[in-house]
Amino acid sequence: MSLNFEEIDFRSTPIGDLILRRRRLLQLGGLEIYEVKLGEDFLMSSLFHEAESQLAKLGLNLLKKENLDVVIGGLGLGYTAVSALEDERVKSLVIVEYLEGVIEWHQKGLVPLGKILTKDSRCQFLNADFFALSSDLSKSFDPNHPQKKHDAILLDIDHTPTRVLHQTNTRFYTREGLGELAQHLKPGGVFALWADGPPDPSFTRHLCKVFATAKSHTIVFDNPITGGSSDGAVYTAQVGL
């Protein structure tokens, strides 16, 4: 196999073929990047992760308290999780990931941030369907504490609220689905969502129908492939005290 391209892992899943690959970009001086594909969808590249990191920062910065219990939906290459753990106020972090292979990449050290997450005692991986857990109001996202409410829930799974990886996910973004998610939060708790591209003002208004406050953030980051910049979105919403 070429030193400039390696398929590290391939496996079939119920929602498509999952691929982890590593490439060297010669046009960027041989920079090594990791990419995740699911079927024909590019889920993530280590070349672009600023918006994923800002998801954690913007969400947690809304909380003015200590000892935070945090949930992340979607593990990916781990940038949101690592950013969350950089906040010393985080007491516990549950990362809910539907694809078992993604968790194994981190546990086996196949991706660069895996060791950071597996060595942090505050962090636990949960192989489960985030959306199913969100709709189940009888228990918590934390399997060890079924009655626990959470200070923040950070979500990075679908491309956008209207461009989802699986059609069953669309219910989550309805008023009913978001209302269920809000019931998993403590008073004053925060929901934050990553999305591809610039924010959609209509979705921010939609969040305001469920949460006490909501705001959209445009994350602009350098795009070395185009030589310009690209946009990502982070939506933040907070329940009342």
pLDDT digits (tens, 9 = 90+) for 99-158: 999 999 999 999 999 999 999 999 999 999 999 999 999 999 999 999 999 999 999 999
Contact 48, 42 (CB under 8 A): no
DSSP states of 72-134: EE--TTSHHHHHHHTSTTEEEEEEEES-HHHHHHHHTT-STTHHHHHH-TTEEEEES-HHHHH
pLDDT tens-digit readout, 3-51: 688 999 999 998 899 999 999 887 777 789 999 999 888 889 898 888 9
Tokens of 154: 């950070």
Q: Where are the domains of the chain?
A: 5-43, 48-238
Asked whether the predicted pLDDT for residue 2 surpasses 70, the reply is no
pLDDT tens-digit readout, 150-193: 999 999 999 999 999 999 999 999 999 999 999 999 999 999 99
Contact 110, 102 (CB under 8 A): no
Give the pLDDT score at 222: 74
Give the pLDDT score at 1: 41
Q: Give kind and range of the element (H or E) at residue 135.
A: helix 130-135
| Strand, helix or coil for residue 225 | coil
Superfamily the domain 48-238 falls into: Vaccinia Virus protein VP39 (3.40.50.150)
Asked whether the predicted pLDDT for residue 95 surpasses 70, the reply is yes
